[in-house]
Amino acid sequence: MTSTSKPITPLRQRMIDDMRMRKLSPKTQASYIRVVKRFAGFLGRSPDTASVEDLRRYQLHLVDHGISPISLNATLTGLKFLFETTLDRPELLTKMHPVHVPHKLPVVLSREEVARLIAAVDNLKHQTALSVAYGAGLRASEVVSLKVGNIDSQRMTLRIEQGKGSKDRYAMLSPVLLERLRAWWKFAHAQGKMLQGGWLFPGLDPIDPLSTRQLNRAIHAAAEAARIDKRVSMHTLRHSFATHLLEQKVDIRVIQVLLGHKKLETTALYAQVATDILREVVSPLETLQPV
């Protein structure tokens, strides 16, 4: 039987090698390759034949087709790697410019909404995974990357290995979350769905972890079932975790460590959505004396 897969071009192989040399994450490598592939499709020929005007036209094409500022900047980053690193032709990017990303406050659920959301999940694996995302403030990718051995019930911590920025850290493990994890562990083992020392949340094949896409589908279905009309995603649980801790008067620097934020300013964003804190502030209007 002959293979129908196309051979990798020398240009793509060189770019892959350049990314490997710099130890870019598999996710970043896949993103850059996807960006270059789309540009080649627009160009109709090999990207290494592009001109300054071709790249300028491509950015206009993306803008005219409604690409978001975040996606546009991500596209420029991928093309920048190709032309600056792989092709050593940075001068071709002179007409391409990153755009400003509008600042938006994160969507945050109330404690009552979080309880309703998690209770609305009818699958124990997904329900436990959402409990971990909220209870420890983890990203979806960090939840699905957890292994059974990452749970330390003696120190009451979750070990996060190679989170964002390729950094290890410890997340909090509350008694309630530990009990939920134990209930899931017992159920999964009884059903033969979890390998010894394997993924905490395995996929259909226990060799593979649950995918973030499956988690996102689960939380969207739960939000609909719980009749929550806010725009909810897995990251909403992380935002809610941080905001609720801030409202509980937890030091913002502690929250920074728990979230794995590099900069305190990133964590400080939650002060703008911590409504319990806002309600405690007395408006100067209240202190005015009648004239």
Residue numbers annotated as active site: 139, 164, 235, 238, 261, 270
Residue 265 contacts residue 273 (beta carbons within 8 Å)? no
How far apart are alpha carbons 266 and 272 in whole angstroms?
11
Residue 143 contacts residue 180 (beta carbons within 8 Å)? no
For the record, the structure tokens of 170 come out as 């410890």
For the residues of 204-264, what is the DSSP string, one character each?
Answer: SSTTSBPPHHHHHHHHHHHHHHTT--S---HHHHHHHHHHHHHHTT--HHHHHHHHT-SSH
Residue 47 is classified by DSSP as G
Alpha carbons within 13 A on the beta-carbon side of 93: 17
Instruction: Kindly state the helix (H) or strand (E) to which residue 113 belongs, with its residue range.
Output: helix 111-119
How far apart are alpha carbons 268 and 168 in whole angstroms?
22
Cα 132 to chain center, whole Å? 15
How far apart are alpha carbons 138 and 25 in whole angstroms?
19
How far apart are alpha carbons 72 and 68 in whole angstroms?
6
Query: Distances in Å between the alpha carbon of 236 and those of 68, 95, 164, 176, 278?
Result: 20, 37, 17, 20, 20
* Euclidean distance between the first and the last CA atom of the chain, given in angstroms as a whole number: 93
